Amino acid sequence: MRENRLFKILYHLLAKGRATAPELAEKFEVSVRTIYRDMDALSEAGIPVYAESGRNGGIYLMKHFVLDKTVLSEEERQEILAALQSVNITQNSNDSRTLQKLSAIFRFDSENWLEVDFSRWGNSGFDNEKFERLKSAIIRRRNVKIHYANSRGGVNERTVQPYKLVYKANAWYLQAFCTGKQDWRTFKLNRILDLEILNEGFSRRDFRETIGTSEGEYQPITLRFPGEMAYRVYDEFDRTQIRPQENGDLIVSARMPEDAWLIGFLMSFGTRVDILSPSRLKDAVAEQAKRIYEKNKS
């Protein structure tokens, strides 16, 4: 009990710089006399703690005192604090006691440099809840039943064994083993309409990556955009896929799946995209645009 209090007093002094004996006594619910005995114990343990009297006095640690300062460089200490802050945020955790303790030990503040919100604009928080529940299912190895909006416009019920949450190209994905298809699948989190964690668990199998592994099967496409669309082109494509032209146009060369999603994606640019190749993709987009016109011309 006393050793725990001594460490807490040390953390407090490292974080705050100074404290009075009455403040410490109130904080740790002991007498002032006990605090002074604790100060003696810290001094005997080699901790450079001292007291100053007077109106601005109090209990101090010797200036520049750092625990184990020779073990880690300043850059390494900063990296540790940044990593801990990132973990706290991605876990949606408000418990930052470890972060506070290490910030005190390292003698500098951990800046609040990162904020992650998994929900979409205007969302009531289901996206955050979805992420947390899937994370729990992965850790506990529990099967999950999902209703998923597929790229063909339907909604399927699937039972999956969740393995990994992946952030790629401005979206979150779930990599899982689909028990119905008996194969690995990737599901976009935004398209998971609802989910239920089942009591049934699963034994971990050899994991196979399902994001980015099939790009070689995609067909190369070439697109041209006017310069004023640069804000969106650089949102959607990697810089290495974009070739700026002298007249300001942007030529994009990429490999993408030729499916209904791609046609809808290209149509979202309206008249601000020219499909240079393949010609069949250009025909498919034109045909879809014609259907939309026929449906809405009245």
Kindly report, residue by residue over 106-145, the tens digit of the pLDDT. 555 555 555 566 666 665 567 778 888 898 898 889 999 9
Kindly report, residue by residue over 27-42, the tens digit of the pLDDT. 888 898 888 888 888 7
pTM of the model: 0.48
Kindly report, residue by residue over 194-251, the tens digit of the pLDDT. 999 999 999 888 877 655 544 445 789 999 999 999 999 998 888 899 999 999 999 9
Alpha helix locations (H) across 226-272? Answer: 230-236, 260-267
SS3 (DSSP) at 122 = coil
Q: What angle (nearest 5°) sits at the alpha carbon of residue 278, between those of residues 273 and 279?
A: 85
Nearest-angstrom CA–CA distance, 226 and 249: 5
Alpha helix locations (H) across 173-248? Answer: 230-236
Kindly report, residue by residue over 49-106, the tens digit of the pLDDT. 878 877 777 888 776 665 554 445 666 556 655 555 555 545 555 545 555 655 655 5
- What are the tokens at 129? 């809840």
Q: Where are the beta strands (DSSP E) in the chain?
A: 18-19, 49-52, 58-61, 142-149, 155-168, 171-178, 183-188, 192-201, 219-225, 242-244, 250-256, 274-277
Which secondary-structure segment (H or E) carries 117? none
Could you tell me whether strands 58-61 and 18-19 are parallel, antiparallel, or unpaired per DSSP bridges? antiparallel
